[in-house]
Amino acid sequence: TLADIGSPRRTKDIIQKHGFALKKSLGQNFLIDRNILNKIVGAAELDSGKGALEIGPGIGALTEQLAQTAGKVVAVEIDQRLIPILEEVLEPYDNVDVVHSDVLKVDLQGLFAEHFAGVEGVSVVANLPYYITTPIVMRFLEEKLPLDNIVIMIQKEVAERMAAKPGGKEYGSLSIAVQYYCEPEMVTIVPQTVFIPQPNVDSAVIRLRVRKEPPVQVKDESFFFEVIRSSFAQRRKTLYNNLASRFFNKETKPALEGILTGCGIEPSRRGETLSLEEYAKLSDALQEALG
């Protein structure tokens, strides 16, 4: 019988047999550690009734473990060269569909309808290509796909920003956007040695439990996110100055102080100290004042 795809030995054999040259530009760092693979799959809380959507299967190390745990696995891979390799190594599993596509461009609603009909819930599970972590995560959240959770290996600093609480230097618009849609939890920190080739950054596995309802109500979601982005536009500036330069002119500016204090927010505070609740209140008040 064959060793697991993710074992160091089998990974080297597969790469060698197919003469595969890993592409740094596609974030190709393959996992070769069973313990980390188990932690990722375990954190997704899958069972035979559930589906897993994997982004970037590589040569299939994580895909294989998902196939043994979930009822249905769909793996979206951009690199054409990996498709025949995946077909071959995943041949023993009849519950895996490999899709050759760019995850940032593929029709996700269509993909869900086509591949996950009848499953009880879907998790996104991936060792992500780090160069596009944020666009991928934001795409899944903004499209409001029916997801239970997102379990991803990403750069450690990015995971810390996603999970950050107000007040610290890691807290920013990414923290707020992620926490509006999800409850983040760090699963484990991952050393560079579990990949080939080794990346030059530390990694972490994070679980984002997707909320059924947002934790705060806002009148206009896109304006809410615009207010947040503007509040962090220049981190050294006060909230007042950042908002003034984005939403106000000389004539309208005198109203801003009253809007802020009306929400119970000191104008001299910085964007990084405001909670989700305060941003929600502020966004509704600003929108009403600006008309």
Binding-site residues, in ranges, read 29, 31, 56, 77, 102, 127
Total site size for ligand SAM, rule CB under 6 A: 22
Nearer to ligand SAM, 132 or 282 (CB): 132
Q: Does 104 bind ligand SAM (CB under 6 A)?
A: yes
In the annotated binding site for S-adenosyl-L-methionine, the residues are: 29, 31, 56, 77, 102, 127
Q: Which is nearer to ligand SAM, 61 or 256 (CB)?
A: 61
Q: Which is nearer to ligand SAM, 42 or 267 (CB)?
A: 42
Q: Shortest approach of ligand SAM to residue 55 CB, angstroms?
A: 6
Nearer to ligand SAM, 139 or 253 (CB): 139
Nearer to ligand SAM, 78 or 164 (CB): 78
CB 279 within 8 A of CB 175: no
Q: Does 103 bind ligand SAM (CB under 6 A)?
A: yes
Distance in angstroms (rounded) separating the CA atoms of residues 41 and 126: 9
Interface with ligand SAM (CB under 6 A), residue from 27, 172, 184, 271: 27
CB of 60 to ligand SAM, least distance (A): 7
- Determine if 202 is a binding residue for ligand SAM (CB under 6 A): no
28 binds ligand SAM (CB under 6 A): yes
State in angstroms the smallest separation of the CB of 159 from ligand SAM.
Answer: 14
* DSSP-derived secondary structure for the chain: -PPPTTSHHHHHHHHHHTTPPP-GGGT--EE--HHHHHHHHHHTT--TT-EEEEE--TTSHHHHHHHTTSSEEEEEE--TTHHHHHHHHTTT-TTEEEEES-TTTS-HHHHHHHH-TT-S-EEEEEE--GGGHHHHHHHHHHTT--EEEEEEEEEHHHHHHHHPPTTSTT-SHHHHHHHHHEEEEEEEEE-GGGEESPPSS-EEEEEEEEPSS-SS--S-HHHHHHHHHHHTSSTTS-HHHHHHHHH--TTTTHHHHHHHHHTT--TT--GGG--HHHHHHHHHHHHHHH-
Among 65, 127, 173, 231, indicate the residue that binds ligand SAM (CB under 6 A). 127
CB contact set of 223 (below 8 Å; sequence gap of 6+): 283, 286, 287
Instruction: Write out the binding residues for ligand SAM, residues 33-92 only, by CB under 6 A.
Output: 55-58, 61-62, 76-79
Complex with ligand SAM: residue 127 or 149, whichever CB lies closer: 127
Under rule CB under 6 A, residue 124 binds ligand SAM: no
Binding site for ligand SAM (CB under 6 A): 26-31, 55-58, 61-62, 76-79, 102-104, 127, 129, 132
